[in-house]
Amino acid sequence: MDIKILIVVVAITLSGNILAQTVPSSCVGTDSIKNIYYVDAVRLAVKRIYDINSPDTINVTIRQENIDSCLSSLIAVHNATGLQARDTVIDILQIHTQDPVLNFFSIEVDTANPWTTSWKQSVTLTGDNTIDTLLIKYGLTLVDYIVGGSQVFALFQTDSLLNIYALVDSFKLLPGIVDVQKAPMPGDAPNIYYTVQDSSQKLTFRYGWGDCLNGCIYSRYWEFKIYQNCSVEYLGSYGTPLPITSIFESDTYSQSTITIYPNPTIGLITITGTFDDPATLELYDITGRKVTKHMITGNNYQLNISHLLKGFYIYELSTGKPEYLTGKLVKQ
């Protein structure tokens, strides 16, 4: 039997050889869309002012116009649904920023100073006017007090998103404070990078895998250029190809009445259809690792995948013959 092999539209890898594509888009988003990307926008704004050595680096509060510029670019890429690469980084891989942590930091204190007794007793305000002014101004709350040998640390959190680097610096030279550190980001993680080029902006989305607790062995990048009219140009991708390099389906199943629903699912899926032979359903995560395998019996089979982590999966439904059906499944 001749089998026609098709690359499914939802394939999650895009060749770096694909020609650049530009589509109209919009920098306007609903409140729910803004909420998805707001923390990303603040982090990108903070990193941007340090990248260009802006005078704003001394300010703990981040200028709203800096945040809005980054947020508009993120929304433009989100709205550029005409780009297949957009589906890869937004819907499938769901790439966001991870660093810096903007609302949490630690202070190492010299307990010889009397005001540190308050923190030892889990009281935020110390009675020291300079320190208390900063704590109140930026809405800081003591969340933990840790004694580690000769070192003592007080951990603080705020509900605000702040320029954590400037906030740390504002505490460093105060009497009784040995050191101040922003919260570290363990290992490596997906990320987004933001740059400005003349009258346009560029967003680079990065996805990493392979021992990411120690820095990610592999990485892939996708670049988008955002113009002043909010149109978006996909510039291409580079780096290590993703483990799932292509997804195929055959004429036999692609034209059949087999259905897998609901998709997205919170855990329970139903596979309906008519099978000539016993069928097997396999699920793979984004790294290409097989996470589950089940024999499909009957024409209306239910499968519980509530134990799987939230995210994107590839399913492969086969009967043991050359033809098989593949596609994406989203676990919420």
In 10 A of CB 57, how many CB atoms?
Answer: 14
pLDDT at 44 over 60: yes
Taking CB atoms within 8 Å and a gap of at least 24, the contacts of 251-259 are: 251/3, 251/4, 251/323, 252/3, 252/323, 253/317, 253/323, 253/324, 253/325, 254/6, 254/325, 256/325, 258/317, 258/325
Of the chain, the percentage scoring pLDDT greater than 90 comes to 51
Q: Is 278 exposed, middle or buried (0-12, 13-18, 19+ CB in 10 A)?
A: exposed
pLDDT at 263 over 60: yes
User: When comparing pLDDT for 66 and 281, which is higher?
Assistant: 66
Of 239, 265, 282, the residue that ends a domain is 239
Q: Could you list the residue range(s) of the whole structural domain that residue 171 is in?
A: 104-182
Residues 171 and 52 both lie in one domain: no
Of 182, 210, 231, the residue that ends a domain is 182
Strands (E) across 98-171 are located at 104-109, 140-148, 151-158
Give residue 248's pLDDT: 35
Q: How confident is the model at residue 8 (pLDDT cuts 50, 70, 90)?
A: very low
Q: Is residue 4 part of a domain?
A: no
Residues 28 and 61 both lie in one domain: yes
Once rounded to an integer, what is the mean pLDDT over residues 261-286? 80
Q: What is the CATH number of the domain that holds 168?
A: 3.30.70
Residues 92 and 118 both lie in one domain: no
Give residue 187's pLDDT: 73
Phi then psi dihedrals of residue 192, to 5 deg: -130, 140
Residues 191 and 323 both lie in one domain: no
Residues 192 and 177 both lie in one domain: no
pLDDT at 193 over 50: yes
Q: State pLDDT tens for residues 102-146.
A: 999 999 999 999 999 999 999 999 999 999 999 999 999 999 999
Dist. CA 331–CA 307, nearest whole Å: 10
Q: Is residue 42 part of a domain?
A: yes
User: When comparing pLDDT for 12 and 319, which is higher?
Assistant: 319
Q: Is residue 173 part of a domain?
A: yes
Q: How confident is the model at residue 284 (pLDDT cuts 50, 70, 90)?
A: confident
Please work out, in degrees rounded to the nearest 5, the angle formed at the alpha carbon of residue 109 by the alpha carbons of 106 and 111: 145
User: When comparing pLDDT for 183 and 134, which is higher?
Assistant: 134
Q: Is residue 8 part of a domain?
A: no
Q: Is residue 9 part of a domain?
A: no
105 bridge partner residues? 156, 182
Residues 229 and 300 both lie in one domain: no
What total of structural domains would you count in the chain? 3
Q: Side-chain half-sphere of 225: how many Cα atoms within 13 Å?
A: 12
Collapsing DSSP states into helix, strand and coil, what is residue 87?
helix
Q: Is residue 215 part of a domain?
A: yes
Residues 210 and 70 both lie in one domain: yes
Residues 204 and 321 both lie in one domain: no
Residue type at 324 in one-letter notation: Y
Of 201, 218, 239, the residue that ends a domain is 239
Residues 257 and 302 both lie in one domain: yes
User: When comparing pLDDT for 240 and 6, which is higher?
Assistant: 240
Dist. CA 67–CA 135, nearest whole Å: 24
Residues 91 and 123 both lie in one domain: no
Q: How confident is the model at residue 264 (pLDDT cuts 50, 70, 90)?
A: confident
Give residue 257's pLDDT: 61
Helices (H), the chain: 31-51, 64-79, 84-86, 116-120, 129-137, 164-172, 251-254
Residues 203 and 317 both lie in one domain: no
Q: Is residue 43 part of a domain?
A: yes
Give residue 46's pLDDT: 96
User: When comparing pLDDT for 110 and 287, which is higher?
Assistant: 110
Ordered DSSP codes for 177-202 = EEEEEEPP--S---EEEEEEETTEEE
Residues 82 and 27 both lie in one domain: yes
My answer on whether omega of the bond before 114 falls inside 30° of 0, hence cis, is no
Q: How confident is the model at residue 277 (pLDDT cuts 50, 70, 90)?
A: low
Q: Is residue 210 part of a domain?
A: yes
Mean pLDDT across the chain: 84
The number of residues making up the chain comes to: 332
